[in-house]
Structure 1
Amino acid sequence: MTKLSFGPFGITTGLTSSPESIEAARVAEELGYPAIWLSGGPLPGLQTIRDLVEATNRIRFVSGILSVDSYEPDDVAATYSALEAEAPGRFTVGLGGAHGARPVATVREYLDRLGAVPEEHRLLAALGPRMLELARDRTAGAYPFLVTSEYTASARAILGADKLLAVSHLTVVETDAERARAIAREPISFFVTLPGYAANLRRMGFSDSDLAELPDRMVDALTAWGTPEQIADQLREHLEAGADHVAVNILTGVTGPQPIEQWRALAPMLL
């Protein structure tokens, strides 16, 4: 199986089928970003993936992630097959979101039912070692989020050299430390309440008090902020640690508009 590749940097964002989202996808394509990783929460349904692919020419889309608790495997497979026939190679199925008592078994069973999607076009939002092993054995690789470069090195050791490791990293294009950290703390404060993320943060060495208080050193470890040049240097730490790709997840502190100006500011440093 040929190793899946997206180039060193892409974008993580939430898009819908709205005219504003379609335009944002076209702008990202024009700027030269090779891939958009579609945040699962804002995604209204599988039709949006088709709408975005049809509205653009070459940029690739990854569902980062489709929750296995929300989407039937037959529906996902049908969407993949239709897009593969119309626009080969432009949609990769990223899966995750199994938050029940048996997450690894749940995802494994889901993969068993995803027959029409070949391994080379499946990815898992893996964090823990057992899910990383499942990603290694049954998919093209892993897509972890809210991790440090030290974690990236450990994930690479589990995945091996032949699997894709794509990391989604929070980013704030802001040089004021207090404001940048305040923007980053808002989403981090939510993710630390989810058992899978909390467990992985503890595996990375953060304490229960860190998870409760979100100290500056923790925010700085999980967020790239500063000038575009400083941000690029921080994001490259993941590549140096073994990642193949970093999906830049830009925060602005404002809900709604796509961070097009931030994409534009970072593009000369990343592409």
Structure 2
Amino acid sequence: MAAAPALSVLDLVPVRTGQTSSQAIAASLDLVVRAERLGFRRYWFAEHHNMPAVASTTPPVLTAAAAARTERIRIGSGGVMLPNHSPLVVAEQFAALEALAPGRVDLGLGRAPGSDPVITQLLRQSGTTSDVERFPEHVRDILSLVSPEGAALRFASGGTYDVHATPAATGAPEVWLLGSSDYSAQLAAARGLPYVFANHFSGQGLERALEVYRTQFQPSEHLDAPRTFLTVNVVAAPTREEAEERSLPNQRMMARLRMNKPLVPAETVEHAKATADEFAGIGETIMAAARSTWFVGTGEDVAGELRGFASRHDVDEVMISPIAGSYETEPLDATPGRTQTLELITEALTA
């Protein structure tokens, strides 16, 4: 049997029908505490904007809240969409987080917008920092700014100006590059940085991205050999029937995205089942395609798939995005489906 991979969590802070942002965030913060107790390696918050079903708009704020409730687990962003922000602001935020939770902060950086064109324009009202083509330059700047040594700006007229993300750093967050294409794989390899392919989102091009990253990797002061892990959407439940039911709300959300339908808060399982005809035809095809890349089943089912997945791609860690939906009778300030997903998988992998 293949060795059990280390497990981590990617959280979009889902918001279900009838739930407030406060309740959704409370549920996710309970989940990070549970993840730490179960032995998960890291817990990352994604960045998405103006989506009725997603409350993870500000990874630094959520990371700070998670830091206050945990002691061991690594915490951070998966990821900060760098073109939406000033590199100095990002560096300051994560340097402060590193001071709050020394030695356990990850700064995952991506170059996608994380929202629709209108919100993207609102986020990028910051001049040249919003230029996606400057992503490599901004990654370089952040690496310098978050280091204890800081960065030195050179003036055209001569002289330098020292900049520090925090005044007296003793460490720095670990910077990861994230992506769903070869672009970030090539950049991570060239800069000697750890890299994660967004398999939970795309699922296409994983093998190519890993090959590019591993074969082109150049050792650096940050890393002496390629380092990567994989992401995947998962749902685990006591029975396969329940697991499939709990996957339905997220399948329908994917269909809405692909079909350009109005987005809504995450539906309950009951509503998804009662309105199945809404996505007949092309919608069913989209849902089936999404479902085919997820790991859904009992704890033993999913644990087996995770072992095989990690072994095939030669990684020792898998980051799961627990996408289990909720039933109408379940409390609004908790996330039982996601919690049992973590518990059942952990139990099966350690049995």
TM-score normalized with structure 1 length: 0.76
Distance in 1 separating the partners of 2:207 and 2:300: 23
Q: Report the AA paired with residue 145 of structure 2.
A: A
Which of 184, 190, 196 lines up with 1:142 in the alignment?
196
Mapped to 2, the partners of 1:239 and 1:265 lie a distance apart of: 18
**Alpha-carbon distance, 1:32 to partner:** 1.3
- Name the CA shift for 1:146/1:74 in 2 (closer, same or farther; >3 Å): same
Q: Does 1:230 align with 2:284?
A: no
> Residues 187 and 106 of structure 1: is their aligned pair in 2 closer, same or farther, counting only changes over 3 Å?
farther
- The Cα shift of 1:212 comes to 8.6
Q: Does residue 186 in structure 1 map to residue 252 in structure 2? A: yes
Q: Percent same amino acid among aligned pairs? A: 20
- Which residue, out of 344, 348, 351, partners 1:265? 344
Bigger mean CA deviation after superposition, 132-141 or 247-256:
247-256
The offset of 1:214, in angstroms, is 1.6
Query: How has the CA–CA distance of structure 1 residues 239 and 178 changed in structure 2, closer, same or farther, with 3 Å as cutoff?
Result: closer
Paired residue for 1:132, among 170, 185, 192?
185
Residue 139 of structure 2 corresponds to 111
The question of whether the paired residues in 2 share the 8 Å contact of 1:153 and 1:241 is answered with no
Contact 1:11–1:247 (8 Å) recurs in 2:
yes
- After superposition, give the CA deviation of every residue in 1:7-50 in whole Å (9 maximum; x if it has no partner): 62111113588544433222211111121121223234323322
Distance in 2 (CA, whole Å) between partners of 1:236 and 1:193 is 33
**C-alpha displacement of 1:63:** 0.3
1:178 deviates by: 5.9
Deviation at 1:79, TM superposition (A): 2.2
* 1:253 aligned counterpart, secondary structure: coil
Q: Considering only CA atoms, is the larger Rg found in Structure 1 or Structure 2?
A: 2
Whether contact under 8 Å (1:147, 1:222) holds in the other structure is no
Aligned equivalent of 1:27: 34
Name which of structure 1's ranges 63-72 and 8-17 shifts more when overlaid on structure 2.
8-17
Q: Deviations over 1:120-174 (max 9, x none)?
A: 82122211112210122233222423354x8443322111173222222111225
8 Å contact 1:58–1:90 — kept in the other structure?
A: yes
Q: Which amino acid aligns with 2:293?
A: L
Counterpart-to-counterpart distance in 2, 1:158 and 1:193: 32
In angstroms, what is the RMSD of aligned CA positions? 3.4
Structure 1 stretches of at least 4 aligned residues deviating more than 6 Å after TM superposition: 209-212
- Are the equivalent residues in 1 in contact too, given 2:26–2:333 (CA < 8 A)? no
Q: Is the 8 A contact 2:109 2:178 kept in 1?
A: yes
Whether 2:236 is the aligned partner of 1:168: answer no
Q: Which runs of 5 or more residues in structure 1 are unaligned?
A: 1-6, 195-208
Q: Is the 8 A contact 1:181 1:219 kept in 2?
A: no
Q: What is the distance in 2 between the residues matched to 1:215 and 1:166?
A: 26
Distance 1:237 1:192 in 2: 29
Q: Given that residues 81 and 117 in structure 1 are in contact (C-alpha distance below 8 angstroms), is that contact kept between their aligned partners in structure 2?
A: yes
Instruction: Structure 2: give runs of 5+ residues left out of the alignment.
Output: 14-20, 49-54, 118-129, 148-171, 216-224, 261-280, 327-331
CA shift in 2, pair 1:267/1:221, >3 Å = same
Distance 1:239 1:125 in 2: 18
State the AA in 1 paired with 2:210.
R
The aligned amino acid for 1:37 is W
Q: Deviations over 1:173-219 (max 9, x none)?
A: 2513863663442243356479xxxxxxxxxxxxxx98993263x23
When residues 179 and 47 of structure 1 are mapped into structure 2, their CA distance, relative to the original with a 3 A threshold, is: closer
The match for 1:213 among 259, 274, 285 is 285
With the length of structure 2 as denominator, give the TM-score of the two structures: 0.60
Q: How does 1:42-57 map to 2 (within 5 A)?
A: 42-45=55-58, 46-57=60-71
Q: Which amino acid aligns with 2:8?
A: G
Which SS does the other structure have where 1:137 is aligned? helix
